[in-house]
Structure 1
Amino acid sequence: MGSWRKAYGALKDSTKVGLAKVNSEFKELDIAIVKATNHVECPPKERHVRKILLATSANRPRADLSYCIYALSRRLSKTKNWIVALKTLIVVHRLLREGDPMFKEEFLAYSSRGNILHIANFKDDSSQSAWDCSAWIRAYGCFLEERLECLRVLRYDIETERLVRYPQTSSKVHSKTRTLPSPELLEQLPALQQLLFRVVGVQPEGAACSNYLIQYALALVLKESFKIYCSINDGIINLVDMFFEMPKYDAINALAIYKRAGLQAENLAEFYDFCKQLELARTFQFPTLSHPHRFLQRWKSTSEKHPDPRSRVSRRARSRSY
């Protein structure tokens, strides 16, 4: 049955390439998408991904960008094969990571019209391993959808953000969240925490754990998790510094963000311990995770600047909150 499926998949791929050569107005792009997302169980070939990146660069017409998104969405919605679905998601992920900012804007605009990835109900039940891989693909799709939502909230891509060296901490570089004002910080940190929740959710199970193609995609998520964690960490430091100047409602929200950061640090540590056992992580340098409780002393020292007993939060109440 496996050999028959491979042969049938190869036939479908060659047929689609042939049709693209004859019927498509975007012939080169359609051929590159089919070849990058074919039924062969290996990562998309770099030359095909590069052609897609070139076709969606800033010097191309806006219509080309829209068509590429449409073609990838159509490819994903029509397939019942887990390999094709996963390779399509990998191409989408690569475009979001490495693509031109104009392409990301177009992707956001396209996604605002409805579900672009069509992955929530995806399943390939041709075998037990395909079933396990399908479950992972759904989790990966959720991560990519959350990545888009985070991009919409932050209005910048955390993966391409340049870390900044600030004068007061000249020995270190920091994320943008380190200096955000309170309103923006309280908007962006929950979005980043939700994205980190989706990161931890892509831990594979069953046959998916040992699959090389899934490990390739997992490596892309793992690389992004490092910056996501750093942005949340810098945001928490910023949050602690501003806590006692916040209005009461904002302070309640800030405390909820702080508590969730503690739970997420523990979950992320377990996720990293799992990933360290995989082949994909041999060359990775994992960050040292800091539990938010290490900011407790900073929080207490900040509170010393607000000794007024008439203040919104008494010192006794603060000690209980710790």
Structure 2
Amino acid sequence: MGRRQRPILKNLLGALKDRASQSKAALLSGPNTSSPHLAVLRATTHDPSSPPREKHVSVLLSFGHGSRLTASCCVEAIMDRLHGTGSSSVALKCLIAIHNIVRRGTFILQDQLSIYPSAGGRNYLNLSNFRDDSSPEAWQVCLWVRWYARVLEQILFSSRILGSFLSSSLFSSFDDGFKETKEEVSALPNGHLLKEFDALVGVVEEICKVPEYAHVRENRVVAEVIRLVGEDNLMAQREILVRAMEMRERLSCLVFSDSVELVCVLKRLENCKEKLLFLSSNEKMKGGDALLDLVGEMKERIGAVEKCGERRLVRKGKVSESARLDSRVVVKSSDLVRFSSGRMELLPDSVM
């Protein structure tokens, strides 16, 4: 009985805190002012049963249509809310808000997100130690908070390398936008292409570390997270496939160090095979099979290229050794001249 009452009491206290915080923010902002702080509070309530409403997310995104200062205040308010809460539900909703900025925000809003904090780095959202032990359910959701933060961190990190946000444009199917992306990728030098390939594989790796879903199957906030990340998985696979196809065309001209690095990245991607196929079972995720088939083909071709290279090196080594033997000067007694001091020297060519 006590366990059943605890979540109810927790939800009631959360609702009271939300109402008090929103009332305070409304008074401070004034009746005719749209406050980023108030908009964030409305989009990130303590209610564990429902994700942020679309109208509240739209209000957050609208701050990207104003000044840079307004957009900065919006991002700062989300980050303050995220790092100031101990509620797993609030934290997940903050991350959903950040994800929507990545996917649908204006350039000015995305720009403010990308430079916050100014140091950046891999641990961008700093939620690796997030804990909520207020209930067994909240403890399970904590796993999703930490995982979702790592996925978003990797997306933000890869976006810096790609020069644009991975989710900045949505496509209805796997093939949409494929040709346009291929044309852009074909102009990249090998080193940068490999760097982008590595960053995108990092996104898929984090997505494939998804926690066990059975314990939170009824949680609608987690369901929204799965939907958003699932679409990112589709786009990451498409971007990887484009770059893998381009790398396949360049295998014969890769330097040895790039070939080694490419094999390492391909192995990392292959290690995600089971989860990748599971996540790609949806019709929209049909690129998973094609991508893994291409990975296997590329590894075989790289192995063949390396073996041919080794044979060439062996043949070259044998030739150079014989050349060194042939080039040695064999000195005969007839080629020597004796000086009065007893010293012997070779006769110059003109004399010989």
Q: Is the TM-score greater than 0.5?
A: yes
> Quick one: structure 1 residues 229 and 175, their matched pair in 2 at CA, closer, same or farther if it must change by over 3 Å?
farther
**Residue 285 in 1 paired to residue 293 in 2?**
no
Flag structure 2 segments of 5+ consecutive residues without an equivalent.
1-5, 170-175, 317-352
The aligned runs of 1:89-128 (5 Å cut-off) are 89-113=95-119, 117-128=125-136
C-alpha deviation, 1:175, in angstroms: 7.6
Q: Match of 2:21?
A: 16
Q: Which amino acid aligns with 1:293?
A: G
Report SS of the residue matched to 1:192: helix
Cα distance in structure 2, aligned partners of 1:202 and 1:313: 50
Flag structure 1 segments of 5+ consecutive residues without an equivalent.
167-172, 277-283, 315-322
**Residue 163 in 1 paired to residue 163 in 2?**
no
Report SS of the residue matched to 1:157: coil
Q: Match of 2:221?
A: 213
> Quick one: structure 1 residues 307 and 91, their matched pair in 2 at CA, closer, same or farther if it must change by over 3 Å?
closer
Report SS of the residue matched to 1:180: coil
Q: Match of 2:145?
A: 137
Contact 1:203–1:271 (8 Å) recurs in 2 = no
Contact 2:201–2:240 (8 Å) recurs in 1 = yes
If you compute each CA radius of gyration, which structure gives the higher value, 1 or 2? 2
Q: Which amino acid aligns with 2:257?
A: Y
The aligned runs of 1:292-311 (5 Å cut-off) are 292-295=295-298, 310=312
Contact 1:163–1:175 (8 Å) recurs in 2 = no
Report SS of the residue matched to 2:167: coil
Contact 1:97–1:160 (8 Å) recurs in 2 = yes
Cα distance in structure 2, aligned partners of 1:12 and 1:116: 28
Of 54, 69, 74, which residue of structure 2 is paired with 1:68?
74
Deviations 1:79-117 (A, max 9, x none): 111111111111111111000122222111113335653
Of 251, 263, 267, which residue of structure 2 is paired with 1:259?
267
Q: Match of 1:36?
A: 43
Cα distance in structure 2, aligned partners of 1:312 and 1:239: 27
Cα distance in structure 2, aligned partners of 1:175 and 1:16: 50
Q: Once structures 1 and 2 are overlaid, which stretch shifts more, 10-19 or 111-120?
A: 111-120
C-alpha deviation, 1:265, in angstroms: 3.4
C-alpha deviation, 1:233, in angstroms: 1.7
Cα distance in structure 1, aligned partners of 2:109 and 2:314: 47
C-alpha deviation, 1:18, in angstroms: 1.4
Taking only the aligned residue pairs, the percentage that are identical comes to 24
Deviations 1:112-132 (A, max 9, x none): 335653422112112211111
C-alpha deviation, 1:297, in angstroms: 7.4
Report SS of the residue matched to 1:285: helix
Q: Which amino acid aligns with 1:252?
A: V
Contact 1:136–1:204 (8 Å) recurs in 2 = no
Report SS of the residue matched to 1:193: helix
Contact 1:176–1:231 (8 Å) recurs in 2 = no
C-alpha deviation, 1:183, in angstroms: 1.6
Q: Once structures 1 and 2 are overlaid, which stretch shifts more, 13-22 or 251-260?
A: 251-260
Q: Which amino acid aligns with 1:22?
A: L
C-alpha deviation, 1:258, in angstroms: 2.5
Q: Match of 1:229?
A: 237
Q: Which amino acid aligns with 1:137?
A: V
Cα distance in structure 2, aligned partners of 1:313 and 1:71: 66
> Quick one: structure 1 residues 116 and 231, their matched pair in 2 at CA, closer, same or farther if it must change by over 3 Å?
closer
C-alpha deviation, 1:311, in angstroms: 6.4
Contact 1:163–1:176 (8 Å) recurs in 2 = no
> Quick one: structure 1 residues 160 and 27, their matched pair in 2 at CA, closer, same or farther if it must change by over 3 Å?
closer
Query: Alignment length, in residue pairs?
Result: 295
C-alpha deviation, 1:262, in angstroms: 2.3
Cα distance in structure 1, aligned partners of 2:199 and 2:313: 30
> Quick one: structure 1 residues 294 and 140, their matched pair in 2 at CA, closer, same or farther if it must change by over 3 Å?
same
Cα distance in structure 2, aligned partners of 1:14 and 1:105: 31
Contact 2:156–2:165 (8 Å) recurs in 1 = no
Deviations 1:277-296 (A, max 9, x none): xxxxxxx6221423222446
> Quick one: structure 1 residues 158 and 34, their matched pair in 2 at CA, closer, same or farther if it must change by over 3 Å?
same
